[in-house]
A and B are shown apart, each in its own frame.
Chain A
Amino acid sequence: DAGITQSPRHKVTETGTPVTLRCHQTENHRYMYWYRQDPGHGLRLIHYSYGVKDTDKGEVSDGYSVSRSKTEDFLLTLESATSSQTSVYFCAISESGAVAADEQFFGPGTRLTVL
């Protein structure tokens, strides 16, 4: 299995509080992604990174920000959490990016509940 960890694995928070999710990889892959998965929607891309300090928006980026200061870490921040952000969040990595048809390896997921 690819070396990807996510922390925390579970979190319950209140509306309006900031939340940061961490993705850590040991594969030295260039590309990292944040997805959310909700019933009835499947996986949707939030943000992705194609290198240190290089990030771009995905399909559902509103309300989220990301940072990547090191190859191995990709942080997802909810500046002010809302109940609509209750979801399962998956981090993924790939070596050469989606266009290269590289396999994306997913982390175990973080279950976030916003009350």
Chain B
Amino acid sequence: RKEVEQDPGPFNVPEGATVAFNCTYSNSASQSFFWYRQDCRKEPKLLMSVYSSGNEDGRFTAQLNRASQYISLLIRDSKLSDSATYLCVVLNQAGTALIFGKGTTLSVSS
């Protein structure tokens, strides 16, 4: 089982839609989790950290389920500008490096 797995998509949704991405991780001892966003041919940028209690930032909500070892990202009221690849990221067991998923591609159309 790969350390961090994501559905690659693409997810094609209309503007205003709600879309959810899931990510699973293999190491039950992982302590830190993140979602990064990467636009086409650009560098990744931190979207949000994921906390055990769940956290929300505007239209974005991240959830962590430790028992099932998955992380989710919910985007409400999708905008054209949300079109990007979303990377699920987990801290490795040694605490020395981030492990990136392959990413889930979202395309929002008008």
Contact = CB atoms under 8 A, between A and B. Distances in A.
Given A45-B98, A98-B98, A99-B91, A109 B43 contact: yes
Contact of A90 (B32, B44, B96): B44
B97 A43 contact: no
Interface in A42-83: 42-45, 48, 56, 58-59
A42 B96 contact: no
Interface residues of A, number: 23
Instruction: Categorize the interface residue count of chain B.
Output: 20 to 34
A108 B98 CA distance: 19
Interface in B8-45: 31-32, 34, 42-45
Contacts of B102: 40-42
Interface of A: 33, 35, 40-45, 48, 56, 58-59, 90, 97-99, 101, 103-104, 106-109
